[in-house]
Amino acid sequence: MANFLKILPFLFLCSHLGNAVLVPMAARTPVPGKPSPPGSPWPLPKQWSQSLTLATLGTPEEFSYSSNVPNCTVLNTAFERYNYALLTRGTIAQPAPDVPVLSYVYVQISPFPQENQCGEFPKLSKDPNYESYDLLVTEGAPDNTATAIITAQTVWGALRGLETFSQLIWRDKDWGVNRYYINYTDITDAPRYPHRGLMVDTARHYLPPKALEEILDAMSYNKFNVFHWHIVDDQSFPYVSQKFPELSAKGAFIPGHLEYTPKIVQDIIEKARVRGIRVIFEVDTPGHTYAIGKSHQG
């Protein structure tokens, strides 16, 4: 944020007696406050106890994920997403000498989920346990190893725990060596709000599917759980309806190109699902229907 403020001074739109004016605002850097120490999770957990005892990340062969739900697509996809390369920023870690090596992460869904839980969609739930989790980083077995254990009542809570785990790993301040550490840690966490959403307007500003996928990744990093997709409006109708294809043929910015086919929409919904994110798909009616007027004149 500090670097951003240095290169891009803010311009704020202010209103004075009905006249809008642009007022330049000086960027004051550095940002006041004390920076968080390495390995600090975001958002701040409800309870977080961190020890000075360290573990080190070993080679890819020394690290793995496992769970008590081996056939869960949501978890297995998350294990692939939070892979070794993501934890080490694409490098190979050099284990620190005389420090326990973090050997594996174990995810325990307790009570054991029903068969359909790993295939269903996340829901809006006021149950405090719906996305809660416990995360414990401690000594393992055999000697000179460490382990991380994530316990949750649902796969959605386990996803939040995996994200927190990835944030706990930090790199040695000596950038001449690729050593990564994690403090022995005990975390109990649950979201404060059941609905934590972001709205994206692709009617006025078309975004390619790849950009939407990157937004979903960023949302999962911040533990957001609702993607409000404002997909159509007066300005364009990029959604390709199978029943009314003329809407996008006449209403998209560039028909045949700047569009979202049913396959693209299904892919986005699935990518959101395995990240524990609900998709609210918004099609405006009866207002905001200029595109319908273009395709169904008279």
Indicate whether 165 and 203 sit together in one domain: no
Indicate whether 142 and 86 sit together in one domain: yes
The last residue of one of the domains, among 189, 213, 239, is 189
Whether this prediction's pTM lies above 0.75 is answered by: yes
Bridge partner list, 148? 105, 137
CATH of the domain at 175: 3.30.379.10
What's the pLDDT at 238? 92
**Is residue 239, in this structure, part of any structural domain at all?**
yes
What's the pLDDT at 23? 63
Residues 44-94 have pLDDT tens digits of 999 999 999 999 998 999 899 999 998 899 999 999 999 999 999 889 998
What's the pLDDT at 22? 60
Cα separation, 199 vs 203, in Å, equals 12
Indicate whether 184 and 201 sit together in one domain: no
The 3-class secondary structure across 20-64, one letter per residue, is: EEEEEECCCCCCCCCCCCCCCCCCCCCEEEEEEEEEEECCHHHCE
Residues 6+ apart with CB under 8 A from 235: 203, 204, 290
What's the pLDDT at 115? 56
Indicate whether 177 and 210 sit together in one domain: no
Indicate whether 138 and 230 sit together in one domain: no
**Is residue 55, in this structure, part of any structural domain at all?**
yes
Indicate whether 174 and 205 sit together in one domain: no
**Is residue 28, in this structure, part of any structural domain at all?**
no
**Is residue 99, in this structure, part of any structural domain at all?**
yes
Indicate whether 143 and 213 sit together in one domain: no
What's the pLDDT at 25? 64
The last residue of one of the domains, among 156, 189, 222, is 189
What's the pLDDT at 30? 75
**Is residue 156, in this structure, part of any structural domain at all?**
yes
Indicate whether 139 and 76 sit together in one domain: yes
What's the pLDDT at 45? 96
**Is residue 228, in this structure, part of any structural domain at all?**
yes
CATH of the domain at 246: 3.30.750
What's the pLDDT at 21? 59
Residues 6+ apart with CB under 8 A from 281: 229, 231, 265, 269
Bridge partner list, 151? 108, 134
Report yes or no: 165 and 86 within 8 Å, Cβ to Cβ. Answer: no
What's the pLDDT at 35? 82
What's the pLDDT at 298? 59
Indicate whether 134 and 268 sit together in one domain: no
Domain residues for the domain of 212 are: 197-295
What's the pLDDT at 17? 43
What's the pLDDT at 27? 66
The last residue of one of the domains, among 189, 207, 236, is 189
Indicate whether 179 and 108 sit together in one domain: yes
Indicate whether 83 and 204 sit together in one domain: no
Pull the structure tokens for residue 40. Answer: 């600090």
What's the pLDDT at 223? 97
Our count of domains for the chain comes to: 2
Nearest to 101 by CA among 175, 180, 40: 180
Q: Is the dihedral of CA 198, 202, 206, 212 positive or negative?
A: positive
Length of the chain: 298
Indicate whether 127 and 220 sit together in one domain: no
**Is residue 231, in this structure, part of any structural domain at all?**
yes
**Is residue 21, in this structure, part of any structural domain at all?**
no
Q: Is 256 exposed, middle or buried (0-12, 13-18, 19+ CB in 10 A)?
A: exposed
What's the pLDDT at 1? 44
Bridge partner list, 189? 133
What's the pLDDT at 113? 65
Residues of the chain predicted below pLDDT 50: 1-18
